Structure 1
Amino acid sequence: MKTLLCLAVLVSVVASFALPQLKSGSVSCLMCEVAVRAAENPTDREAHTVENKFNAECKKEFGSIPFIEKDCEKYGDSKIDPIINELEGGTAPQDVCKKLKEC
């Protein structure tokens, strides 16, 4: 039992140091791609609808990463509107994340 507890603490500590480093690159790029997929349908581009869809997809996609729920919510709060604006402005879905410098 002590071994499992120590292992869980070790994983949490390592994840807390590794996640911010990954977030600046690959994780934020992947989150952006999930957000673009959530906002692709022009009929469902209301911010709250896209944000709810993004949060569900983000948690599903990154559920194995500890504490990801808060990161999904923070990303959605700050990035959904710019993503929707890019899509409504005519930017192709595959180019949105590059244009916003997320990938």
Structure 2
Amino acid sequence: MKTLLCLFALIAVSTALVLPPLKTSAIGCLMCEIVVKVAEDPADRDAHVVENKFDAECKATFKHLPFVDKECEAYGNSKIDPIIKELEGGTAPQDVCTKLKEC
């Protein structure tokens, strides 16, 4: 029995080390879609304007999750600029999150 337990533990550890981490998540996808929605209008693509609107929308959408303030802030700090660049580069809004591997 101990041998079997050790074998399962070894398989679990080796699988965790070998398989790449999942890069997309449902929350990350939703956050990306919020940024795209907020930045879709070319007149509103100033990074500070987008960040403020995203922060408010993100907190309203995920208000039931703990630590939502920090999650929204972290996502905004790292992802808003690439999303805006994709939109400015002509990528269709519905394709931005897929292209950035957020969804």
Fold shared, TM-score > 0.5 on shorter chain: yes
State the Cα distance separating 1:100 from its structure 2 match. Answer: 0.2
Aligned residues: 81
Gap regions ≥5 residues in structure 2: 1-22
CA RMSD between the two structures: 1.1
User: Could you tell me how far 1:31 is from its partner in structure 2?
Assistant: 0.4
Whole-Å separation in 1 of the counterparts to 2:67 and 2:80: 20
Q: Contact 2:28–2:102 (CA<8 Å) still a contact in 1?
A: yes
- The residue aligned with 2:75 is 75
1 or 2, which has the higher helix percentage?
A: 1
1:24 Cα shift? 4.3
Is the Cα contact below 8 Å between 2:24 and 2:101 reproduced in 1? Answer: no
Match of residue 62 from structure 1: 62
Cα deviations by residue, 1:2-56 (Å, 9 ceiling, x for unpaired)? xxxxxxxxxxxxxxxxxxxxx9410000000001111101001000000000000
Secondary structure class of the residue paired with 2:25: helix
- 8 A contact 2:29–2:97 mirrored in 1: yes
**Distance in structure 1 (CA, Å) of the matches to 2:86 and 2:24:** 21
CA distance in 2, matches of 1:46, 1:67: 26
With the length of structure 2 as denominator, give the TM-score of the two structures: 0.76
Q: How does 1:17-28 map to 2 (within 5 A)?
A: 24-28=24-28
Cα distance in 2, alignment partners of residues 56 and 68 from structure 1: 11
Q: Percent identity?
A: 68
Q: Which amino acid aligns with 1:85?
A: K
Letter aligned with residue 85 of structure 2: N
* Partner AA of 1:52 in structure 2: N
State the partner residue of 2:43: 43
Aligned-partner residue type, residue 46 of structure 1: D
Q: Which runs of 5+ in 1 are unaligned?
A: 1-22
